[in-house]
Structures are given as C-alpha cells and as structure tokens.
Amino acid sequence: MTVIDIHPHIISDDAERYPPAPLFGKRSDWSQERPCTVASLITAMDEAGVAKAAVVHSSTTYGFDNSYVVEGCNQFPGRLIAVGSVDVAALDAVSVIRDWVDRGLNGLRIFTGGSTKDFDPSELENPAAYPAWEMLGDLGVPMCIQTGPVGLPQVTDLAKRFPRVNIILDHLGRPDVLDGPPYADADSLFALADLPNIYLKLTPRIMGDVTKGEASAETFFPKVASVFGADRMAWGSNYPTSPGTLAEILATARARLACLSDEDQSWIFAKTAQTLYPALAD
C-alpha cells in the first residue's frame, strides 16, 4: 500500500540562512530538541516506506517565513510538497500567497495555538482574511487549521462561506474521545460531516487518545469513517514533533487503523492526500 504523509515538519541546521522567528515569540521545544532537516526527512521516509509527503511549515520556528519548507521541498520534486503559513489578515495577504505559490507552495496552514500558545479562534473570524480565502478558492489551495473544539464554530462558518476551499483539520480538531462510544463528547466534530469541504488529519495525538479512558480504535475510527467517509480522512505523522521514529509512528497508525477495510486504509494512507494535493498524485 502506498503511504503518503501530510504532516511532517523540517527544521534547517543553518540558522544564519534560515533564522528562527517563531510565531507568538516563543519557539517550540521540539524544534530545538528534535530538529529534522529535509535530507533527514527523506532518510526517515525511506526507512519507513513513506513514498511522498506534504511537509508542514513550522510556524513555531519560522513564523510566516516559508523559505526553508519551500526551498527544502523544491529539492525533491515529485516527492515533497510544501504547506506554509501566511498572515491571512494582512493587507498584502493576497499578493503574498500568490508569490509563495509561484515559488512552490501547495497548501497553507493557520496556527491558532498549540505547543506554544493556548488556542485563540479569533483569527478564524476576522473579515480582513476573507480576500485571502477567496484567493485560495481561485488557486485550488487547501487550508489546514490547527485548533481545538473551541474553534470549530469558526471553522464551520469558514467552510460554509468558502465552499471552494478544502479545509483540513489538524489532529482531527483534537476531539475529546475519552467517554467512549457513542462519543457524545466529540459531537462538535461529527457535526462537521455535512460540510463536504472539511477533511480530517489523523495524527499521533488521536492514535494515543483512542487508547485512553473508554475509547478504543475499534470503536472510534469505524465511526469516523462511517460519518465522514475515508475519502475525507488522511494520515499525518507529526514527525519529528511526536516522539519516535517515522517508522514507529507509521506502525502505530497502521495498527490502530487495522480495524478498517483495506479500501478505507488506502484512502487514509494515500488517496485522500492525492485528492487534497494533486501534486502528490502518481
């Protein structure tokens, strides 16, 4: 089975050429403790059997400067593509997006919080960003959103307001699944299923959460697949942010998702990624 990863990160080992300037002013611990250059990522992919990847820019290292993720991925055309970050509410956001796309960017991401800051969904409801979202629809560029349940009302509004933009929820939107089936505490996630431009990114966070409390992989993932469809689910390693080698992270994901059909797994591990990012198609 072909495997495509839509959420690894890369960090340059040349701080003079690519100086850190983290979003919110605080650099993430992982980017300093477990750095991974683009060459290191390719080695890890080869060892794990990952064919291609959509590499996600580290906002908590480089802010809105996508230089390393774009230039790094451009070294491996046909195998890596870049997903970057832009201040979508800035006055020049439209021209900045177009410039980065011209330089090789294939996707964008909004980081509303996470490892260095509590979630603040206000960025997702700023009308100043609407021209940028229109541009994404024109260009066919998907948007990843890093938020928790607190931001899902804003995600819902954006999905309805910009139906031409595919929205990918990082880490599945961080649902609370510890109550177990029927997973009532995750109702805000399942309520998004009626919006066809909402996609789900399955990362180590959810792979770990389904082993806690009353949750289980065998009850949670089949429900997600039945509600959203596997063609709207895609795997992302979050490597090297999440502990372990890329091969170990992939092995865990395979084990957790073994309860799904081979066809569903083929979508999650490759075909959905190729739908979202046609540059990753064979």
- CATH number of the domain bearing residue 121: 3.20.20.140
pLDDT of residue 199: 98
Cα separation, 199 vs 261, in Å, equals 19
| Total number of domains constituting the chain | 1
Question: What SS3 class is residue 143?
Answer: strand
Judge whether residue 157 has pLDDT over 80.
yes
pLDDT of residue 115: 57
Lowest-confidence range among 119-123, 153-157, 173-177, 180-184? 119-123
Beta carbons within 10 angstroms of residue 24's beta carbon: 14
Say what percent of the chain tops pLDDT 70: 98
Judge whether residue 10 has pLDDT over 60.
yes
pLDDT tens digits, 17-60: 999 999 878 888 888 888 899 999 999 999 999 999 999 999 98
pLDDT of residue 116: 59
Give the model's confidence band at 278: pLDDT under 50 very low, under 70 low, under 90 confident, else very high: very high
- Bond into 222 cis (ω within 30): no
Give the model's confidence band at 101: pLDDT under 50 very low, under 70 low, under 90 confident, else very high: very high
Domain that holds residue 86: 4-280
